Structure formats: structure tokens, C-alpha cells
Structure 1
Amino acid sequence: MKKTQLSTPKGSRIEHIYLANTPWLRLRGLLGRKQLTTEQGMLISPCNSVHTMGMRYPLDIVYLNSKNKVLKITSNLAPWRSSACRGATQVLELSAGNSENKNIKQGDTIVWQD
């Protein structure tokens, strides 16, 4: 997993984004990992739907298109649930409440920095 960071149009940053961009990393996702902090997230690509089967904590799910535009945000997705978004090509998983804390809104374009 490669670490990178992102910033939002409103100037918020998340310092450590883990990339799940291989079949194995996408399959594993956050299963068996510690709960994300407010400075961590996981980008799953390609992806347009997620589940929280086996998770022990809720997540915020940010759906992005191929141009990194936020199409949909599912806040506080509880364990043992699923969510999807038509047109999404990647999903950013954040700790529950972090999409609001970082002021990420539908229609925003996320900027990635290595």
C-alpha cells in the first residue's frame, strides 16, 4: 500500500491515504486493521460499492468519479451494511464523521499529493 495525502477545496487535509489498487488489497480493504484516525483513509480503486461485513466500526464512504469529483457521501455506514454509487470509479473510506470534519461535500474535487 502506497501512502499519499489529499486536500479538499476548502483546504482540509488527510495526511495518510492507503491505496488499495490491486485485487488482493481491494479484497482485504480495512478488514483486520485498526480503526482509522482522522488523518488516515483508504482509497479503493477501481470501486463503486463497498460493504462493512466483518468490520467493528462505522465508516464514512466518499464516492469519486474518474476526475476525483465527489459524487456521493455515505456517512456513518455501520458494520454489516453495504453502499453503492452509480458512476463512481473509486471509493475513499474515512473514519465515521471525518467527511464532515474535513468539510468534504458532494461536488467537491479532491486533490491528491504524493
Structure 2
Amino acid sequence: MPLVHVSLRAGKPEAYRQAIFDSLYRAMHETFEVPEDDQFMTATEHDAANFRYGASYLGVARSDDLVFIQITANNTRTVKQKKLLFRRIAELLSESAGIRPEDVFVSLVEVAKENWSLGNGLAQYA
């Protein structure tokens, strides 16, 4: 049950944001075996004064089209699955939204299964 938050510069059309959501879900479905309808995502847009990044940190040439993606997920995936996820996200965002791979920044936050409540005050995975 990944929870995804996307941060990007303000001004992109709704279709662009929806393409990001669709691509992220598809990548997680393909690489993390996320089930149908397991789509919990938000997007936050920021003006230039509230969006800062290292334009060349670690030799990656980033632009103002940078997209920060934070995925919180169960700590059950292998390193191989994580690498496949990162690669697939970059591929799909390039194809669907025209985002350069250099502008795809992904952070994976892993949590134990018992740390989720998906509604009704229950710990569904505990």
C-alpha cells in the first residue's frame, strides 16, 4: 500500500499531473506488484521561491521541470525491485509526461507493515 507524494513547480496542466499519477501507479504495479485500485497519491505545486534543488548535485543536470516523488511503502521489497521501480518511473514519466530522466527524483521511505491504518482506526496489515 504505497502512499505517494509528488512535488513540482506550479503551472503544469492537470493532464500533466494525471500522467504523472498514472505512470507512478503503473510503475509500482509492474515492479512492486501493487494491486488494482491501490492508488493513494497527492501532488503539491510550488512557486519558484518555494522550490529549491541542486542543479548539478552528483553530476545530474536538473532543470525547473524537476519532480520530487516520495513513496512510502512496506519494507518488503528487494534492492532489485527498488532499482526496477526507479528505472521504470523514469521511463514512464519520460514517455507520458515528457519529463527528462534527469528531472525525476525519487525517495523511497520504508515502514513496517504494522505502521499503517487505512481507515476505520484499524491496523489492517498488523
TM-score tier by shorter-chain length is under 0.3
Larger proportion of helix: 2
**TM-score, normalised relative to structure 1:** 0.26
> Larger radius of gyration, structure 1 or 2?
2
